[in-house]
């Protein structure tokens, strides 16, 4: 994508961190200069478009100007809506950032060391993925390597102290020691660098006595233009090879551009899904009736739409684009489709499964997903970008309230000790046997050590979300 191309971002995401922590947003026009206090502007827009606006008090009661920082005010707003089951704040999604998120996703460039780790046990860390073209990839690091030392520190424990150590190391020139399979030690020094994000981490066609299974590990729903050539090539190769069963590995995929989720759904769906409902969006009554405050009604959508106002964009999204239908693409005709998922499977990843569920009943293998059936329209306020939950998505059967996540058909704990494509990987192995591949064709399973449900280090540079570009 070109950096100056106008975009309107619709995002559902579960972590606030952007994919490009080192990137700074270019100066943008402050579209709210006419308002005396930025808190007032943010509050007015929030209350007008927030999905749960009915629980938000009026300005006189809430007193937005009483908060010293916009971040403090926004945090207070997101804590008002409660989960009916737990009584805790339901909105674990909305956030403010400095524009880094939209810039990183718009340009498709990231700046980091390019790998992430997870706790296999309470005190052992393993590489869980490496981005192609990143410093880690160029150094030869692979999934399944154990990280034994970071800048001379070799004692790790699940918790904030180790997370802080890793966050600092990943953002600077740092020394790492790895234990590779076969008990070989590898010492490396890595520094963050800019590279183009390629989220297709692994792809293969497995042939089990004539039964062809396609397998793709996909980590971010980046802009369609950035990944469509790669996916077109993969899907064409799968079709020519006679693939009838597919495994989409989304275990660490936090989502991304909705256009890419729609593209994947259209390629994976059966031909008879064509022109049927893929998903619908639901907004609050303000948006549905086009009733807004004076402040929001006079906010121009600069720099995205120089001649339009934000309420126009919301109106169009809630009417013209309220329903999205399948448009079958490609020649794949699948008899089986499985998704590998974990708690780190979020948003666009969950939507991809949910929209295909009515047409082909795909299987979920792994653990319960994060739970994010809602989205945002990103609105800039000077140096801030506001991501306030403003719509909810539903599939053709009206299913879309999975705020506590989507439970798998078969529960399998993730294991970080194997590289991609290994039949020792319990999630991949289970998906294959679940779709009818005899266990005798998968070899023996190696013993692994795990004392807990494996969890990912919660880094500072991991973006997760569901984003849609301008549909005009």
CATH topology of domain 110-276+326-370+405-440+450-460: 2-enoyl-CoA Hydratase; Chain A, domain 1 (3.90.226)
- Dist. CA 378–CA 463, nearest whole Å: 15
Could you read off the pLDDT tens digit of each residue along the chain, which spans 472 residues?
333 333 333 433 333 233 332 223 233 334 444 445 899 999 999 999 999 999 999 999 999 999 999 999 999 999 999 988 888 999 999 999 887 666 556 666 788 999 999 999 999 999 999 999 999 999 999 999 999 999 999 999 998 899 999 999 999 999 999 999 999 999 999 999 999 889 999 999 999 999 999 999 999 888 899 999 999 999 999 999 999 999 999 999 988 888 999 999 999 999 999 999 999 999 999 999 999 999 999 998 876 677 789 999 899 989 999 999 999 999 999 999 999 999 999 999 999 999 999 999 999 999 999 999 998 888 888 888 898 999 999 999 999 999 999 999 999 999 999 999 999 999 999 999 999 999 999 988 766 555 455 567 655 445 554 554 555 5
User: Phi/psi zone of residue 270: left (φ > 0), alpha (ψ -120 to 50 degrees), beta?
Assistant: beta
- Dist. CA 220–CA 198, nearest whole Å: 8
Q: pTM for the full model?
A: 0.88
Bridge partners of 149, per DSSP, are 177
Strands laid side by side in the 10-15 sheet: 256-257, 464-468, 10-15, 374-377, 389-394, 277-282, 323-325
Domain boundaries, the chain: 110-276+326-370+405-440+450-460
Residue where the block lists tokens 């990231």: 110
């Amino acid at each position: 994508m070109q950096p100056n191309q106008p975009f309107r971002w619709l995002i559902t995401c579960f972590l606030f961190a952007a994919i490009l922590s080192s990137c700074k947003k270019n100066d943008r026009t402050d579209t709210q200069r006419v308002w005396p206090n930025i808190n007032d502007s943010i509050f007015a827009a929030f209350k007008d478009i927030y999905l749960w606006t009915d629980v938000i008090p009026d300005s006189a009661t809430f007193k937005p100007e009483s908060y010293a920082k916009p971040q403090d005010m926004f945090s207070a707003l997101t804590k008002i809506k409660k989960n009916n089951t737990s009584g805790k704040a339901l909105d674990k999604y909305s956030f403010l950032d400095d524009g880094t998120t939209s810039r990183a996703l718009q340009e498709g460039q990231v700046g980091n060391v390019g790998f992430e780790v997870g706790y296999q046990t309470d005190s052992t860390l393993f590489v869980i993925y490496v981005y192609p073209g990143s410093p880690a990839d160029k150094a030869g690091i692979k999934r399944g390597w154990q990280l034994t030392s970071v800048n001379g520190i070799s004692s790790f424990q699940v918790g904030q102290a180790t997370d802080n150590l890793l966050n600092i190391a990943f953002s600077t020139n740092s020394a790492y020691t790895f234990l590779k399979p076969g008990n070989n030690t590898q010492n490396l020094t890595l520094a963050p660098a800019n590279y183009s994000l390629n989220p297709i981490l692994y792809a293969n066609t497995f042939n089990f006595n004539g039964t062809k299974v396609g397998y793709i590990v996909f980590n971010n729903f980046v802009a369609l233009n950035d990944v469509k050539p790669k996916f077109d090539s993969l899907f064409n190769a799968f079709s020519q090879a006679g693939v009838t069963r597919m495994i989409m590995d989304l275990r660490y995929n936090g989502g991304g551009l909705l256009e890419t989720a729609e593209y994947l759904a259209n390629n994976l769906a059966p031909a008879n899904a064509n022109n049927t409902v893929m998903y619908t969006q639901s907004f609050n009554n303000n948006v549905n009736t086009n009733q807004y405050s004076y402040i929001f009604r006079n906010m121009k959508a600069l720099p995205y739409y120089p001649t339009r106002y934000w309420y126009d964009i919301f109106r169009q999204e809630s009417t013209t684009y309220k329903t999205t239908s399948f448009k079958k693409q490609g020649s794949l005709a699948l008899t089986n489709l499985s998704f590998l998922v974990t708690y780190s499977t979020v948003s666009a990843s969950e939507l991809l499964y949910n929209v295909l569920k009515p047409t082909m009943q795909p299987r979920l293998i792994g653990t319960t997903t994060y739970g994010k059936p809602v989205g945002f329209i990103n609105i800039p306020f000077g140096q801030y970008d506001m991501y306030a939950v403003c719509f909810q998505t539903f599939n053709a059967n009206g299913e879309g309230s999975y705020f506590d996540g989507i439970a798998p058909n078969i529960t399998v704990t993730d294991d970080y000790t194997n590289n991609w494509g290994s039949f020792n990987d319990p999630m991949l192995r289970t998906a294959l046997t679940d779709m009818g591949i005899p266990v005798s064709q998968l070899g023996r399973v190696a013993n692994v050590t795990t004392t807990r449900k494996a969890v990912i280090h919660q880094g500072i540079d991991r973006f997760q979300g569901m984003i849609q570009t301008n549909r005009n």
